[in-house]
Structure 1
Amino acid sequence: MINESALLESKTLRGSVLERTDVLDRVKALSLLPDGMHVTTAMVAAYFQVRVKAIRSLVMDHRAELEANGYHVLTGTELSAFKALSGIQSRTPSLALFSRRAVLNVAMLLRDSEVARQVRVYLLDMEYLARTQPVNNPVPTDTSSLDDRIDQRITHILGKTVVPMFNALIETSGEHRKELIALRTGVQRIERRLHQHHARLKRLEGVRDDRPAVGVMAAMDAMNGSAFERHIAKLLSRDGCTNVVVQGGHGDRGVDVIGLTADGRRLVVQCRYAPYLSISSPDIQKFIGSAKVLYSAEVALFVATCPFTPDALHLAAETGITAVHRGVLEEWSAGEPLKVLE
């Protein structure tokens, strides 16, 4: 079985598994730009929970390999056309984009990221299963049925056939007793390792509290600003809010959605569709004036598809603004109600 160190060091080994981009979403939902194909450097850093500087440094060291797998930088008219198509409002003279293959390539190069390590582990587990299947028994796309067959094979062949056979031979043999005991120990060791491998794969594939539902943010990142505001309004209605009105656009005075909570409190929401930016203190300051002064809101939500800076989070907490950042938004969209609305 290929080990993680070999994958980190060998370009050839990395190239042999680059088609398995589905493992990215199995470990953590990978949000894409509205074109449904690419992510920015900041989005890659957010996925792997590292600094943007770490991704840029990795690109400098492995640029040729990454470019071969879909990394490229847009400039000039190509950048203008992409901005118009995707709705990106970046003012930078260039924009680096990563394909899903390039993101998987990053996962196989990035050492100081727990998410990247999980991707590698999952990738190696799936590769191991593919390599150990009989030639006339292709690997099914349904990994759960594959796991069931592994369990059955382990239980029947090792547990009910091979080990009992060694037990019987050991009881009746004198001359080769030590050798048979050693062989039986080896078989039992293999059985334990296969069970451990299966348990690890189940752990990676299973639903975990810290792993959001696949596709939730990907679908949201494909929305435009108006669709995002309507999505937030639906979430509010789902959680018992009434008189919910979307008023985003010109003349909204800094508030996109208004309504009443289930217990009758005045509610206002600022929606910020910006997966490639961060919410800063000035953004919160503007919303405070609108929410508290113009609308006399009792519940004020600032909902964004991107992270909030530490200063912005601190200011929001001080002034009674509920910051619904990307992580909270993902959980809310997946069915977890916001506590402030209860």
Structure 2
Amino acid sequence: MIGIHDLRVRFDSDKGLVDAVQGVNIDVKPGEFYTLLGPSGCGKTTTLRCLAGLETPTGGRITIGDTVVHDTKRGLTIPTHKRDIGMVFQSYAIWPHLTVFENVAFPLREARPKVPEAQIEARVGKALELVQLGGYESRPAPFLSGGQQQRLALARAIVREASVVLFDEPLSNLDAKLRAETRLELRHLVKRLGMTALYVTHDQTEALTMADRVAVMRDGRIVQEATPTEIYKRPNSRFVASFIGQCNFADGTVTAAARGAEPGLIDTAWGPVRFDAAADAATGAKVTIAVRPENVRLVANGTDGAADVPQGEVIDTVFLGESVECRVRLGNSDLVARIHPDQPVEEGKAIGVMIRPKDVAILST
């Protein structure tokens, strides 16, 4: 449905030429919710704007459905209003002088050929009902709450009945509670309408909870593309691992490779750490491993199995409400564990530290 091939964007800045996007390739399937994730300045919004026709690429080819909307080699660029897309901006771009109805009707009134008034009323009414704004038609747009304005922007994007909808960080202006409520509501609505979505965000929680696939960008390139589960559990680099949530890192040497069901072994500053066959590494290789805090299990002395695991010392604890974050000295280094608040731990006390082989990710860079 969306094809971006060898996309390149170069800007002329006061510091010289800047390669904002460097050879990006994306293929989004029909009905897929695809997310571009990365820090500010990584090129994700520029990629989105090229797809929308709001930026002109320096090189590459872009298709929407069966239509080529940009091809640098052919000198072809189809203007934004002729592309089969809807778009929700970060600022919502709501017209403050128009009512809710007229905001949603705007793209239909500007369409060519002209859309009959009866059809406009029917399509606007349907779009507002879908986003739960039915009955608000006559309300001035500025009188809506932040969450309602976000849904209004979505209604305006879907009223065109385009096959593709683009989102440029649409939840960033909402407070944390409303953002959490809205992200799943937004995903369910897009899925129910059968639309193909390309979503840009710097928020890793949004990416993990909303996307079918996530592409992590850095310095104008996609550094990893995978499902949210794989991105989180099997990051391919230290950058991806640290950007997608908190992580413990340790350098080490593989002393035994994994063989089938038999886990491998890595010598690290924490001591020996086992890994399974999913994290492939040859004997003698120098590697960096990553372990999520929630996968570091603390075993109190005197409980079953405590004597069979390495012993660490609890350095400090921080109560976070739903969990307790513990910093533990293990071997010659520290690591962070996240445990249930009911689990008893005491600062300065010895504790067993357990890391399962399947929870160890071996990073390539």
Q: Is the TM-score greater than 0.5?
A: no
Higher strand proportion, which one?
2
Given the two structures, how large is their TM-score scaled by the length of structure 2?
0.24
Write 1 or 2 for the structure with the bigger share of helix: 1
With the length of structure 1 as denominator, give the TM-score of the two structures: 0.26
